[in-house]
Amino acid sequence: MKILDRYILFSFIKIFVSTLTLLMFIFVLQSLWLYINELAGKGLGIDIILKFLFFVSPKLVPLVLPLSVLLASIMTFGNFAENYEFAAMKSSGISLQRAMGSLIIFIFFTGIGAFYFSNTVIPKAELKFFNLRRNLAKLQPALAIEEGIFNDIGDKINIKVDDKHGDNDEFLTNITIHEKSPDGTNRIVLRAKTGELKSSKKSDVLQLVLFEGNRYEDVNPKKRRDREKLPHAKVFFEEYTMNIDISDFNDVDLEQQDYKTFYRMLSVVDLKAKRDTLTEEYTKKVELFGDNVLKRTGIVSLSNTTTVTDKEGRTKTKKNDKVIANPQTPNLDSVVQNLKDYKTIMILDQAINNTKNSLDIVKSKEKELFNSDKLINLHITEFHNKFALGVSCIILFFVGAPLGAIIRKGGMGLPMVLAIIIFLAYHFIGIFGNKSAEDGTLNPIIGSWLSTMIMLPFSVILTRKATADKGLFNPDSITMPIKNFFEKIAGIKKKKSQ
């Protein structure tokens, strides 16, 4: 490696490492602030908090690494241009592409390293981080209760609250509780306007005090005739105290890992295998649903014949009794003209009810199939995002390096502003692509690569402009045509006046 290549490479690495460290520190502090409610007030040691931050750091790399590459490339080549080092290189016959040679090799290996990191380190860190959060939530039951959804507290209590407040989220509003009866069935329901959690760190019992509510319980009589009446008991209370065993909450192994199949915890090989499995299951669901809808119509098959197998294993062709004889829509008058009025009304009412039931079934199944399709899309986008991370580092380098040479400005001022603007555009386009791919609006592959594909032409244009020593924006390209247009009009008027 020549002295010039080493000088350019080390200048870039010095800025790149310092930028990466600074940005990582900022994003880690932001993550600490984001998860402060899960860490504060639990008596955690500094080792657990550091482990929490250590596990959250790798998932920040897809944000920090492209921004660091972009900012470092703008600052490095901006410094070279501002200090006339590029002018000296060009006077010696060294082009921009030649000056970028050592950095291109470095960025290429950085992209490969980014893919490896995204494929191996991030899934493992995501697994550790997700399970650590789940285990930390068990240390304080109030944090294990999320607003708006049902949460399991112990083995017998399932609770939902609309709102939590107070210093330790101990005050609850609009509470719904499902409690298992001694026989293990879910027959007890409690609803209350407000409630309060009372517990001691050393106690294995959580006291839940409910105010102004009702307790409902299904009664299970011994006689069948009485059970058919569905008897139940209802009790109003102004204050009701429940003692919940939380010994499992106070005996938590923070190293325990129960959740291992979340799509962010998988490598590209596992993602591909999981995607194929989910696609196969989705296809079976659709086919089974189609068969069920067809059976509800009373039509066995859309074909006039069907193949059956007898006891001896021989196949025979059998004519279907229930089959659509004519695929065209039949004339309603021809169907009901020979029937009496009351039978016609009965047939029409039954047809309307069957249609409504079929529509309700389709609507209910639509959400389930949408969620299945969404899960498949998430696996596909995550698969391609791992490759897109490495490629984006290379593309953003070819955006930042020529841009720094064009603006001829180094330091943390203008380069920082430009880097943030470009990265925000890149980042928000990526979020838009992933969200659109998640709900099926965009193809998942296009959604994963959308931001990179948009940045690619910019990198080509900026590299060509920097190579040709052209400015980022030439105002004459807009003003000159307008000026020439008005000059022509003035010349035409002058000729007419003469």
Condensed to tens digits (0 to 9), the pLDDT of residues 63-105 reads 999 999 999 998 888 888 888 887 788 787 787 778 888 888 9
Is 150 a domain residue? Answer: yes
Q: Write down which residue in 343, 369, 395 finishes a domain.
A: 369
pLDDT of the residue at 475:
46
Is 427 a domain residue? Answer: yes
Is 341 a domain residue? Answer: yes
pTM confidence score: 0.65
Same domain, 355 and 384: no
Is 129 a domain residue? Answer: yes
Is 222 a domain residue? Answer: yes
Structural contact between residues 369 and 430, judged by C-beta atoms closer than 8 angstroms: no
pLDDT of the residue at 251:
47
E strand residue ranges, 310-462: 315-319
- Residues (pLDDT < 50) of the chain are 250-259, 302, 321-326, 475, 478
Is 401 a domain residue? Answer: yes
Please give the helix or strand (H or E) that residue 464 lies within, else none: helix 444-467
Same domain, 59 and 32: yes
Same domain, 200 and 186: yes
Rounded CA separation 363/150 (Å): 24
Same domain, 15 and 104: yes
Q: What would you measure as the largest C-alpha separation in the chain, in angstroms?
A: 117
pLDDT of the residue at 25:
92
Structural contact between residues 100 and 89, judged by C-beta atoms closer than 8 angstroms: no
Same domain, 122 and 43: yes
Same domain, 186 and 279: no
Same domain, 336 and 422: no
Q: Which of 271, 272, 27, 267 is nearest to 124 (CA)?
A: 267
Same domain, 287 and 363: yes
Is 477 a domain residue? Answer: no
pLDDT of the residue at 150:
80
* Cβ-based neighbours of 145, under 8 Å, separated by 6 or more: 151, 153, 159, 161, 164, 169, 172
Helical residues (DSSP H) of 83-237, grouped into ranges: 85-91, 96-99, 101-116, 122-138, 141-144, 224-227
pLDDT in tens, 38-71: 676 566 678 888 888 888 889 899 999 999 999 9
Same domain, 365 and 387: no
Same domain, 176 and 196: yes
**Rounded to the nearest 10 degrees, how much is the dihedral formed by the CA atoms of 486, 490, 491, 495?**
150
Same domain, 9 and 81: yes
Q: Write down which residue in 250, 284, 319 finishes a domain.
A: 250
Is 50 a domain residue? Answer: yes
pLDDT of the residue at 429:
92
pLDDT of the residue at 396:
92
| DSSP β-bridge partners for residue 235 | 215
When divided into structural domains, the chain yields a total of 3
Structural contact between residues 287 and 365, judged by C-beta atoms closer than 8 angstroms: no
Chain center to CA of 159: 27
Same domain, 98 and 109: yes
DSSP code for 140? S
Range of the domain at 439: 3-138+376-467
